[in-house]
Amino acid sequence: MHIAFVASDIDVAQQARRELAKRYGETPIAEAELIVALGGDGFMLRTLHAYHTLEVPVYGMKLGSVGFLMNMHHVDDLPARIARAHTAELHPLEMTTFSADGDKREAIAFNEVSLLRQSNQAAHLEVRLNNAVKLPNLICDGLMVATPAGSTAYNLSAHGPILPLDANVLALTAISPFRPRRWRGAILPHRTRVGLRILDPGKRPVSATADFHEVRDVREVIVAQAEGRGVRLLFDPEHNLEQRILDEQFAVE
């Protein structure tokens, strides 16, 4: 198999990349049948953003501070590990933003799209689902739409639900909601088109972020599942992503 190795900037990841390339050989990214990513979850996200159009599977090894999307780092038996790995397919979100001057920008997110207030003033948001207004005015610090893979990240820290990987749903999670006081979010069918309009953007500016791509001073944001942009992650059987997401619902630490 033709393998390309990519690594984060930290020394231990770069050293691991050199060792693996020496042992198994290395193929240029454009010719690879598989990408091995060395680092943490943040580096894995950047790898997916950079190379998802190549449509080759990605196998991660944990050499960073967080590794929910990664396998354990071992140099030995890499071809055998890849041969018995389980595949998890991730479907990203597509974020489309509009500014006051009509500027339109697009970005994708494998974890979540989040809106956050930019000032000390709470954000006022109109929430639409498939063009139907569901919340005329949500007053909050922010709001996010999370994928199942991203439901254990920022979404979980904001008290959003953990979603099974194959559930075909998205989490709509409020960040510090004030009004409506008892609204804490919703679970949406994965094909839902979420429209978010910023109310009083001059006084209450809002930024929108797709994973790590931020757009400031947005006036409207549309979020929908990106069609035809799925990526395949490979996991050792003992680190199956579906099982790890399920186990997170019973974590008591």
Neighbours of 226 (CB within 10 A): 16
Q: Are 170 and 224 in contact (CB under 8 A)?
A: no
66 pLDDT band, cuts 50/70/90, is low
Compute the average pLDDT of residues 81-109: 93
Q: Are 111 and 45 in contact (CB under 8 A)?
A: yes
Cα 82 from Cα 234, distance rounded (Å)? 7
pLDDT in tens, 190-242: 999 999 999 999 999 999 999 999 999 999 999 999 988 889 999 998 877 77
Active site residues: 41
- Of 93-97, 168-172, 178-182, the poorest mean pLDDT is in 178-182
Cα 115 from Cα 168, distance rounded (Å)? 22
Quote the pLDDT of residue 1. 84
Q: Are 212 and 136 in contact (CB under 8 A)?
A: no
Cα 150 from Cα 67, distance rounded (Å)? 13
pTM above 0.85, yes or no: yes
Question: Could you please report the per-residue DSSP string of 236-252?
Answer: -GGG-HHHHHHHHTT--
Cα 109 to Cα 2, 177, 190, 203, 232, distances in angstroms:
28, 23, 14, 28, 15
For residue 173, pLDDT beyond 70: yes
Cα 132 from Cα 29, distance rounded (Å)? 44
Structure tokens at 204: 């209450």
All domains of the chain in start order, with CATH: 3-90+230-248 (3.40.50.10330), 93-225 (2.60.200.30)
